[in-house]
């Protein structure tokens, strides 16, 4: 067999001995059967491992619990009280959703996710999750989005939330409501980590754990007492983001990371792996990647059965039953399980002959066995050297009754009749607290909360006090404030580059280096790159700032003799993430939220290939806004014509459009080095200054070299607002039009200005449009204000004020889609003509691309003249003259359609 072919390439030192061993195995299989043989093999492998003889790791184990009953940790809590607390939380979580859907039909909410995972959370809250007491940041807990009602119900029991809050579940507008899912943007004092877009919580948790190590190794924060916990669904693991970075977590030995996968075997529509076994599949994945895997499949009442399973029939049955069948068993009853699970094999049947149908029905899944979960968590926090994943088998909708438990539709059930609620109440043994009368038809089901001095609440609060305070909570207390640099690092860009031709990317890299060198501020700079450092000229920083590597550098780099060698170090500053934009974005989010999650503000700069930014990891960008991230995103090698040669998949002409949709993203398309510097300087002030704003910045950077002009006096305000006049109409001409440019389109604009003056006597002034998004947002605000203040003197949008003096048409030229400048068209007081790069990119020279997309100087000239001709300000023949002068073929189809 090829798979084990390696064995036959190794010399056999004693063939006779080998034969004896193999014969013994054959005999066992023939005499005692496969189960016995497997058992012996497992023991042999275990022994071999314990004697350190390096056998290849097996990736799967039988479908039973990883921790044997006799090795389970002692449970230190008050089990009865914790059970009662859980029951109250279950009740309030369910009532919250049911009431919300009575009050506002269709408002949604989920019952069954938390119903399946209550024990998974409660054991954490009562015994493991560290809060933020004593000024320490505690643990980072990523909660499964759809379990939010259970987390609110616990905060209610802790008297952190009141009934009024619960009544306003999913009704935030007007204040005092609870957001549907974990959204720091909507509940900034409560939620810390957005999770509900499947897969993003998991990948963020990995990079959060890794970033904690980075902070520690760089001596910026002692993170040794903080663990990262991530709860996720078994359906959620199908997102590429979920499993895509698990090998990094193992490689980095992130034993500060624990994942808890709620394996209820179901997702939204039906089973996760009806024909297979999701727990086994995940075990193999995680073990293969190098994680510690703890399976909690069966509750304690299975233990005696397994102990008596001497011939292995029970384990065999467990191994061979597929998830679709397991799901069915939980939607039936004890008699059905006896017949279909234990039934077919007489030996199995005998194993449960002493149990009643009720007792068989009560055989529990591991995720509902509180002690087993405690033992798993205890083991998880003690395991070293690798991250841990706990695979907990549960029932989706557990305790919610036969119409909900394990049903395919369970995920979306959000209403329960009062009769179903009565059954739930009985199951939770809350008859005394919720009398029948309270659940009479037509009654609103009541919440239930024992008073502060009740045993339940006192216990609950004492547990949280012992663990450092309540969770989730997001206090944003700066433990190590950040000192912003003075103008020093930015100053050199104001003078321009003289005759030296540089790109905005080069200028930014130089600025980044200046910032990192700044004594007080420098250590807070986090440069992040996904294997494109050389493309952006950032390899110059490798040697000076060094690349973070938790193990240091175990080899002498191939380029060690060079001035700019590849330098890895345990306290390196650069996060060189390799080819994972999602991973790099998750790193950026960890750094960009460190002011809140750790009280240690960091200033991250994530420079990516602009095409592989917003469109590749747009959902993470969206999440970053929710998480209140502060930092810089740099889309380098930007533009559809500036990035020459690369073609359709690489040339970005639309990330500014995608950025336009992100409310808290301040997007800029600077043309010159001083603009880049001004935006970064101001951005640092805005995000980390005395009145910090929860916004982030996006700058596009280009790789076209040209002489950087000096900063015109007084330009700062316009640079930040999005528009300023960069050059008047040339001497000897009269101003008749304006051309707005962004990024490297200034070259076409400047050439057109010169040509229009030289050939047609037309004076054009030039404006640098650094941010159409900023202009649009200001204009919309003004427009809204005017609408709502009819009696007041109308205000005039900034862009209108800027351009009203032009007195002629305005042509905008950009390396982005026409829609980008079109964002402000409504507020330009005269004719507005955008020239942009609509359509798919091509590989060719810049010159050819700009001609193709009709954004070169010739097309700017034609656009200006055509607009003037339409207004009767130049003779119509002038346009035809220009078309001929520049060799433009008027019969070519629109590039968008070519």
Where does this chain bind ligand TPP (CB under 6 A)? 113, 144, 146, 196-198, 233-236, 262, 264, 266-268, 272, 396, 411
Residues facing residue 707 across a β-bridge:
501
Least distance from ligand TPP to the Cβ atom of residue 268, Å: 4
* Cα separation, 648 vs 743, whole angstroms: 20
Report how far residue 391's alpha carbon sits from residue 282's, in angstroms, rounded to the nearest whole number. Answer: 8
Distance in Å, CB of 195 to ligand TPP, minimum: 9
Angstrom distances, CA of residue 740 to CA of 304, 624, 666, 725, 817 = 79, 31, 19, 9, 14
Q: How far is the CB of 241 from ligand TPP (least distance, A)?
A: 9
Q: Are 246 and 583 in contact (CB under 8 A)?
A: no
Nearest CB to Mg ion, comparing residues 90 and 725: 90
Round to whole Å and give the CA distance between 293 and 598.
28
CA distances from 640 to 707, 799, 856 (A): 21, 26, 13
Residue 445 near Mg ion by CB under 5 A: no
Nearer to ligand TPP, 115 or 388 (CB): 115
Q: Which is nearer to ligand TPP, 231 or 698 (CB)?
A: 231
Using CB atoms within 10 Å of the CB of residue 441, give its burial: 0 to 12 exposed, 13 to 18 middle, 19+ buried: exposed
196 binds, among ligand TPP, Mg ion, none (CB under 5 to 8 A by kind): ligand TPP
Instruction: Centre a 10 Å sphere on the Cβ of residue 778 and count the other Cβ atoms it contains.
Output: 18
324 vs 271: CA distance, rounded Å: 6
CB of 235 to Mg ion, least distance (A): 5
Q: Which is nearer to Mg ion, 279 or 824 (by Cβ)?
A: 279
Using CB positions, name the residue nearest to ligand TPP: 233
Kindly state whether residue 264 participates in binding Mg ion, applying the rule CB under 5 A: yes
For the chain, how far is it from start to end, CA to CA, in angstroms? 54
**The two three-digit tokens of residue 171, written as one number:** 């009704």
Write down the least CB distance from residue 392 to ligand TPP, Å: 11
Shortest distance (Å) from residue 154 CB to ligand TPP? 17
Distance, in Å, from the CA atom of 759 to the CA atom of 748, rounded to the nearest integer, reads: 16
Q: Give the DSSP per-residue string, 399-436.
A: TS-TTTTT-TTGGG-----HHHHHHHHHHTT-TTTS-G
Tell the smallest beta-carbon distance from residue 661 to Mg ion (Å).
31
Q: Which does 268 bind (CB under 5 to 8 A by kind): Mg ion, ligand TPP, none?
A: ligand TPP
Q: Which of 702, 739, 642 is nearest to 508 (CA)?
A: 702
Task: Enumerate residues 217-246 that contact Mg ion by CB under 5 A.
Answer: 233-235
In angstroms, give the least distance from the CB of 97 to ligand TPP.
13
Q: Name the minimum Å distance from CB 61 to Mg ion.
A: 22
Q: How does DSSP classify residue 265?
A: S
CA distances from 128 to 142, 206, 376, 377, 745 (A): 14, 19, 11, 8, 57
Contact 817, 838 (CB under 8 A): yes
CB contact at 8 A, 778 and 725: no
CB of 113 to ligand TPP, least distance (A): 4
Nearer to Mg ion, 146 or 510 (CB): 146
Using the minimum distance from each CB to ligand TPP, give the nearer residue, 580 or 700: 580
Q: Is the C-alpha dihedral spanning 860, 863, 869, 873 positive or negative?
A: negative
Query: Is residue 145 close enough to count as binding Mg ion by CB under 5 A?
Result: no
Residues 6+ apart with CB under 8 A from 480: 220, 221, 599, 600, 601
- Given Mg ion, ligand TPP, none, residue 420, with its beta carbon under 5 to 8 Å by kind, binds none
Whole-angstrom Cα distance, residue 380 to residue 260?
10
Cβ nearer to ligand TPP, comparing 408 with 565: 408
Q: Specify the 3-state DSSP secondary structure of 743.
A: helix
Residues 6+ apart with CB under 8 A from 340: 325, 329, 332
**Residue 233 or 470 having the CB closest to Mg ion:** 233
Site size toward Mg ion, by CB under 5 A: 5
Identify what 197 binds: Mg ion, ligand TPP, none; CB under 5 to 8 Å per kind.
ligand TPP
CB of 411 to Mg ion, least distance (A): 8
Residue closer to Mg ion by CB (options 163, 269) is 269
Distances (CA, A) of 494 to 487, 713, 717: 11, 10, 14
Q: Report, in Å, the least distance between residue 897 CB and ligand TPP.
A: 33
Cβ distance to ligand TPP smaller for residue 196 or 764? 196
197 or 473: CB nearest ligand TPP: 197
Q: Please name every residue paired with 259 in a beta bridge, in sequence order, or none if there are none.
A: 230, 389
> Is the Cβ of residue 205 or residue 503 nearer to Mg ion in the bound state?
205
Residues that bind Mg ion (CB under 5 A): 233-235, 264, 266
């Amino acid at each position: 067999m090829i798979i084990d072919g390696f064995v036959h390439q190794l010399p056999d030192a004693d063939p006779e001995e080998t034969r004896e061993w193999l014969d013994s195995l054959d005999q066992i299989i023939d005499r005692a059967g496969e189960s016995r043989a497997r058992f012996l093999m497992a023991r042999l492998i275990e022994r071999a491992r314990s004697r350190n003889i390096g056998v290849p790791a097996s990736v799967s184990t039988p479908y039973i619990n990883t921790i044997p009953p006799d090795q389970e940790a002692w449970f230190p809590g008050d089990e009865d009280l914790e059970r009662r607390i859980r029951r109250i939380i279950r009740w309030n979580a369910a009532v919250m959703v049911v009431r919300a859907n009575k009050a506002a039909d269709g408002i949604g909410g989920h019952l069954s996710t938390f119903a399946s995972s209550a024990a998974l959370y409660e054991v954490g809250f009562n015994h493991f999750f560290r809060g933020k007491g004593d000024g320490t940041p505690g643990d980072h807990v990523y909660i499964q989005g759809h379990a939010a009602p259970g987390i609110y119900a616990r905060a209610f029991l802790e008297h952190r939330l009141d009934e009024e809050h619960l009544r306003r579940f999913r009704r935030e507008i007007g204040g005092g409501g609870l957001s549907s899912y974990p959204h720091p943007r909507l509940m900034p004092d409560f939620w810390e980590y957005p999770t509900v877009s499947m897969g993003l919580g998991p990948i963020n948790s990995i990079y959060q754990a890794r970033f904690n190590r980075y902070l520690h190794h760089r001596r910026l924060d002692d993170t040794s007492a903080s663990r990262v916990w991530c709860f996720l669904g078994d359906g959620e693991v199908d997102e590429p983001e979920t499993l895509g970075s698990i090998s990094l977590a193992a490689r980095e030995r992130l034993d500060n990371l624990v994942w808890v996968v709620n394996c209820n075997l179901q997702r939204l529509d039906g089973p996760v792996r009806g024909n297979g076994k999701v727990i086994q599949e995940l075990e193999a994945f995680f073990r293969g990647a190098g994680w510690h895997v703890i399976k909690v499949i069966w509750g304690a009442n299975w233990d005696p059965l397994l102990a008596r399973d001497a011939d292995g029939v029970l384990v065999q049955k467990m191994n061979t039953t597929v998830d679709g069948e397991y799901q069915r068993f939980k939607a039936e009853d004890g008699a059905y399980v006896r017949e279909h699970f234990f039934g077919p094999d007489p030996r199995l049947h005998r194993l449960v002959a002493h149990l009643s149908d009720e007792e068989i029905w009560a055989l529990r899944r591991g995720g509902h066995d509180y002690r087993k979960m405690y033992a798993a968590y205890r083991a998880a926090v003690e395991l070293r050297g690798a991250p841990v994943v706990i695979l907990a088998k549960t029932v989706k909708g557990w305790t919610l009754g036969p119409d909900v438990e394990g049903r395919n539709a369970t995920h979306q059930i959000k209403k329960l009749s009062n009769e179903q609620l009565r059954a739930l109440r009985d199951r939770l043994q809350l008859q005394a607290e919720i009398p029948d009368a309270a659940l009479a038809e037509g009654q609103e089901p009541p919440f239930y909360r024992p008073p502060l001095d009740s045993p339940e609440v006192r216990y609950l609060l004492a547990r949280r006090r012992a663990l450092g305070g309540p969770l989730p909570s997001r206090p944003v207390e700066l433990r190590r404030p950040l000192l912003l640099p003075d103008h020093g690092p930015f100053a050199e860009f104001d003078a321009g580059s003289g005759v030296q031709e540089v790109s905005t990317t080069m200028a930014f890299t130089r600025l980044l280096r200046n910032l990192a060198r700044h004594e007080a501020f420098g250590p807070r700079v986090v440069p992040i790159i996904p294997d494109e450092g050389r493309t952006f000229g950032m390899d110059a920083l490798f040697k000076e700032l060094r690349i973070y590597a938790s193990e240091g550098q175990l080899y002498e780099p191939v380029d060690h003799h060079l001035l700019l060698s590849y330098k890895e170090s345990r306290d390196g500053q650069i996060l060189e993430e390799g080819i994972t934009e999602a991973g790099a974005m998750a790193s950026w989010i960890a750094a960009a939220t460190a002011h809140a999650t750790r009280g240690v503000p960091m200033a991250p700069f994530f420079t990516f290939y602009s095409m592989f930014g917003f469109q590749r990891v747009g959902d993470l960008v969206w999440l970053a806004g929710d998480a209140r991230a502060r930092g810089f995103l740099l889309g380098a090698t930007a533009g559809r014509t500036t990035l020459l040669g690369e073609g359709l998949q690489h040339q970005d002409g639309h990330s500014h459009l995608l950025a336009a949709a992100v409310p808290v993203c301040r997007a800029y398309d600077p043309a010159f080095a001083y603009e880049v510097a001004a935006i970064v300087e101001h951005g640092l002030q805005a995000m980390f200054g005395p009145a910090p704003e929860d916004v982030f910045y996006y700058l596009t950077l280009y790789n076209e070299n040209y002489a950087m002009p000096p900063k015109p006096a007084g330009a700062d305000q316009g640079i930040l607002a999005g528009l300023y006049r960069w050059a008047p109409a040339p001497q000897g001409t009269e101003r008749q039009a304006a051309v707005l440019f962004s990024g490297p389109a200034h070259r076409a604009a400047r050439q057109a200005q010169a040509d229009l003056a030289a050939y047609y006597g037309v004076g054009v002034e030039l404006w640098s449009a650094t941010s159409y998004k900023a202009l649009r947002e200001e204009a919309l605000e003004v427009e809204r204000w005017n609408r709502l203040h009819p009696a007041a003197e109308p205000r005039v949008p900034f862009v209108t004020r800027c351009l009203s003096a032009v007195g002629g048409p305005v042509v905008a030229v950009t390396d982005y889609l026409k829609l980008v400048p079109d964002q402000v068209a409504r507020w330009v007081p005269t004719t507005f003509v955008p020239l942009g790069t609509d359509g798919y990119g091509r590989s060719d020279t810049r010159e050819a691309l700009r001609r193709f997309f009709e954004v070169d100087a010739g097309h700017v000239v034609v656009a200006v003249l055509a607009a003037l001709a339409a207004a009767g300000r130049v003779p119509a023949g002038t346009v035809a003259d220009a078309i001929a002068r520049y060799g433009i073929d008027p019969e070519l189809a629109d590039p968008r359609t070519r």
